[in-house]
Amino acid sequence: MNKILHAIPSPRDNIQGVLDYQPDLPFDRFIPKFMPEVDAYHLVRDFFLSHKQYTHLAIGTDDIVVKPEHMQALAADLAEKDYPVLTGVMNVFQEDHDLLNITPNGSNPSPIWAKRIYNWINKKEMYRYTANGTNPIIQVGFSGFPVMIIRRDIVERIAFESDAKYNPVPFPLGGSLDVQFCYSCHRMKIPIFCDTRVEMDHLRLSGQNRVGTARPHCIYWVKNTQIRYDIDYEEITIKYDEDTMMPGVLFCTKCEGEAEGHNFSEAASRLDHSIGRDRGIFCPASHDTLQWNGHGVIGKEPEKIKIPYLVKKT
Give the closest residue to 260 by CA, choosing from 282, 277, 280, 232: 282
Rounded to two decimals, the pTM is 0.80
Q: Which residues touch 68 (CB under 8 Å, ≥6 apart)? A: 21, 24, 25, 26
Residue 137: other Cβ atoms inside 10 A: 16
CATH topology of domain 4-202: Spore Coat Polysaccharide Biosynthesis Protein SpsA; Chain A (3.90.550)
pLDDT for the residue 294: 44
Three-state helix/strand/coil letters over the chain: CCCEEEECCECCCCCHHHHCCHHHCCCEEEEEECCCHHHHHHHHHHHHHHCCCCCEEEECCCCEECCHHHHHHHHHHHHHCCCCEEEEEEEEECCEEEEECEEECCCCCCCCHHHCCCCCEEHHHHHHHHCCCCCCEEEEEEECCCCEEEEHHHHHHCCCCCCHHHCCCCHHHCCCHHHHHHHHHHHCCCCEEEEEEEEEEECCCCCCCCECCECCEEEEEECCEEEEEEEEEEEEEECCCCCCCCCCEEEECCCCCECCCCCCCHHHHHHCCCCHHHHCCCCCCCCCCEEEECCCCCCCCCEEEEEEEEEECC
pLDDT for the residue 122: 95
Listed by start position, the domains of the chain span 4-202, 241-298
pLDDT for the residue 238: 59
157 close to 281: Cβ distance less than 8 angstroms: yes
Per-residue pLDDT tens over the stretch 40-89:
998 999 999 999 999 999 999 999 999 999 999 999 999 999 999 999 99
**Average pLDDT per run of 10 along the chain, which is 314 residues long?**
96 92 94 92 92 97 96 97 97 91 92 89 92 93 95 90 75 82 89 96 93 93 90 71 44 58 42 38 58 44 73 70
Give the closest residue to 2 by CA, choosing from 61, 108, 79, 83: 79
Give the closest residue to 47 by CA, choosing from 177, 222, 247: 222
12 close to 62: Cβ distance less than 8 angstroms: yes
266 close to 247: Cβ distance less than 8 angstroms: yes
Q: Which residues touch 267 (CB under 8 Å, ≥6 apart)? A: 161, 164, 165, 171, 238, 247, 305
